[in-house]
Structure 1
Amino acid sequence: MNKKQKRIEQITRLHSPLRCPICKGDLKVEDNSRLICSHLHSFDITKQGYINVLTHKVNSHYDKELFEARKQIITKTKLYNPLQQLIISHIKELSPGQMIADAGCGEGSHLHMILEKLNVTEQKYVGVGLDIAKEAVKMAAGNDDEWIWLVGDLANLPFTDHSVDVLLNILSPSNYQEFKRVLREGGIVIKVVPRPNYLFELRSALSKNNHYDNQEILQLFKEHFHVISQKSLHYTVELSSEEKKQLVKMTPLTWSGQENTKRLFIEGDHNQITVDLEVIVGKIK
């Protein structure tokens, strides 16, 4: 079974069809090669196995090198393992449904690893990853044969109303009006937000002014959703010099940093990296 066929198989498993981003009609599979709505708006399933449902051109600042580095950090180190385990426990405890959508999935590593662990015991979950960066989604589809990967806009999600059981939003921008539209009754949104000491060592190496406050982000979430869980994750993970090099490449925090400063961080003796995150789970009020 090729990538196109696997995507089609997963699309048919969704309990609601995808939605046309132009006319808002249902999208159905046609000729085993594309999605089409009743108004004949059509979106090809590419040979790489992703579907581009963007309705406008986007210039992303995020390039292939960044997403490759992100994949290496997420999949080859333990930097985000406790975060993924917490998300998995929330899904098992709080959601009886099957569709898990990652809004702002990047190259798909978080969604892939979460679904892989969830589906070890029961093959009931279907994953859909969406990001506005085509390069990231192309990479996600190339690395993962199982799930549905979409190039799309958070402000115009290609999901029908009340169709998503779990909506992940991991260190990514949000559109809460769209989130509330697509969440089904009883569905949950899991948002991951940096806390003040997130990647503290890297930020300290790059700038003396590294204060970060997440209170406005958390307050906005609480205005839109009923909070059913809010937990802080704080731990450190040791990274090698090569892994620190990938960390530098994967984050926009380093875009304005001097090359010499980055090199000193990578080659320095301090290898403990701090992860400091807020994981907040909400339901529609």
Structure 2
Amino acid sequence: MLSKMEMNKLAMQESVALLACPICGGELIFNEPHSFVCPKHHGFDVAKPGYLHLLKQAHKTKYDQALFESRKKVIASGFFEKIIERLTEIIADINKKEIVIYDAGCGEGSHLAHVVNALQEMGRNVRSVGLDIAKEGVKQAARDYPGIVWTVADLANCPNQAETADVILNILSPSNYQEFKRLLKTDGFLLKVVPEANYLRELREFIYVDEKSSYSNESVIARLAEKLTVEHVERVTYKAPIAKALFADFLEMTPLGWHIEADKKSELLANPPEELTVDLQIIIANRAHLL
């Protein structure tokens, strides 16, 4: 039986044509036992437990292992289940023998892994690459979800070949639409998920006392439309139960919980809401009619 490291290395070898040197953009080839090199001899070793560090230079982020562990627990509870189901349905409509998916801002990998697993259960052939600048998240993804290509990468300089993605997932994450446009096949599309007005409304009203209890995504859509053509927009809204024992993890993973005052945080943890509003917008965008 293959180890996680071996499963991940095999996935990299099978998908090497999707990858590019982050320094010169050249094609990567695999060199035994565990490195990838480009024609200009830039080399990248497979790190334990099986991910590639494809950054021009090291980046330090505020996202630590505790945040990603909390994120995984919340996702595993089914909090985002309906949005992931809808994204999977959209991707499943693609009429191709093989679907190539990039998750730009994959974090600790749960969203991408769940989508890929669901598609494979439908009998679909999927190749997938997760990209995130936070090494701790990618390291955890490689450990928890072997068989996917996990890369530490900068979304402003994605280490992937042009026109190789059928789908780019971008879930509650920063974007670089110029890069997404470069990576998409001519018939590929971006699936971007952004908060709608009532997303986590219960938390916003408690923390901000109506000062910032709603969220507007108009500026996000405007920036996206400068580079890509918006094909379809839909809203997914539901109430998600959240266990009291999981609420500290929820505050750890969401930016809303990072700057909350200590007394308010204690009050919230002592008596958390039993459910939260999930109100998200799915934007489907493609390269059509754009130069």
Match of 2:88 in 1: 88
Alignment of 1:30-49 (within 5 A): 30-49=31-50
Q: TM-score, normalising length from structure 2? A: 0.93
Match of 1:79 in 2: 79
What percent of counterpart residues are identical?
35
Contact 2:17–2:28 under 8 Å retained in 1:
no
Match of 1:130 in 2: 131
SS, match of residue 24 in structure 2: coil
Structure 2: how far apart are the matches of 1:152 and 1:269? 36
Structure 2: how far apart are the matches of 1:139 and 1:269? 28
Q: Are 1:246 and 2:249 an aligned pair?
A: yes
Structure 2: how far apart are the matches of 1:9 and 1:58? 27
Match of 2:6 in 1: 5
Amino acid at match of 1:212: Y
Match of 2:262 in 1: 259
Return the offset for 1:248: 0.7
Q: RMSD across aligned C-alpha pairs, in angstroms?
A: 1.5
Contact 2:9–2:50 under 8 Å retained in 1:
no
Structure 2: how far apart are the matches of 1:95 and 1:221? 26
Match of 1:268 in 2: 271
Amino acid at match of 1:200: R
Q: Are 1:55 and 2:48 an aligned pair?
A: no
Q: Are 1:237 and 2:240 an aligned pair?
A: yes
Amino acid at match of 1:71: K
Return the offset for 1:159: 0.6
SS, match of residue 157 in structure 1: coil
Match of 2:19 in 1: 18
SS, match of residue 121 in structure 2: coil
Q: TM-score, normalising length from structure 1? A: 0.95
More deviation, 32-41/221-230: 221-230
Return the offset for 1:15: 7.9
Amino acid at match of 1:167: I
Structure 1: how far apart are the matches of 2:270 and 2:95? 44
Match of 1:70 in 2: 71
Return the offset for 1:181: 0.5
Match of 1:99 in 2: 100
Structure 1: how far apart are the matches of 2:7 and 2:80? 28
Q: Deviations over 1:161-194 (max 9, x none)?
A: 1011110000000001100111112111100001
Structure 2: how far apart are the matches of 1:201 and 1:86? 24
Unpaired segments ≥5 residues, structure 2: none
Amino acid at match of 2:119: L
Contact 1:8–1:29 under 8 Å retained in 2:
no
SS, match of residue 16 in structure 1: helix
Return the offset for 1:95: 5.8
Match of 2:215 in 1: 212
Contact 1:95–1:187 under 8 Å retained in 2:
no
More deviation, 155-164/259-268: 259-268
Match of 1:144 in 2: 145
Contact 1:100–1:168 under 8 Å retained in 2:
yes
Unpaired segments ≥5 residues, structure 1: none
Structure 2: how far apart are the matches of 1:112 and 1:45? 20
Q: How many residue pairs align between the two structures? A: 284
Return the offset for 1:269: 5.8
Contact 1:18–1:28 under 8 Å retained in 2:
no
Return the offset for 1:240: 1.5
Structure 1: how far apart are the matches of 2:197 and 2:270? 24
Match of 2:176 in 1: 175
1:221 to 213, 220, 224: 224
Amino acid at match of 2:275: Q
Q: Deviations over 1:220-243 (max 9, x none)?
A: 222322222210111111112112
Q: Deviations over 1:59-79 (max 9, x none)?
A: 20111111111000001x221
Structure 1: how far apart are the matches of 2:41 and 2:3? 26
Q: Point out 4+ residue stretches in structure 1 off by more than 6 angstroms.
A: none
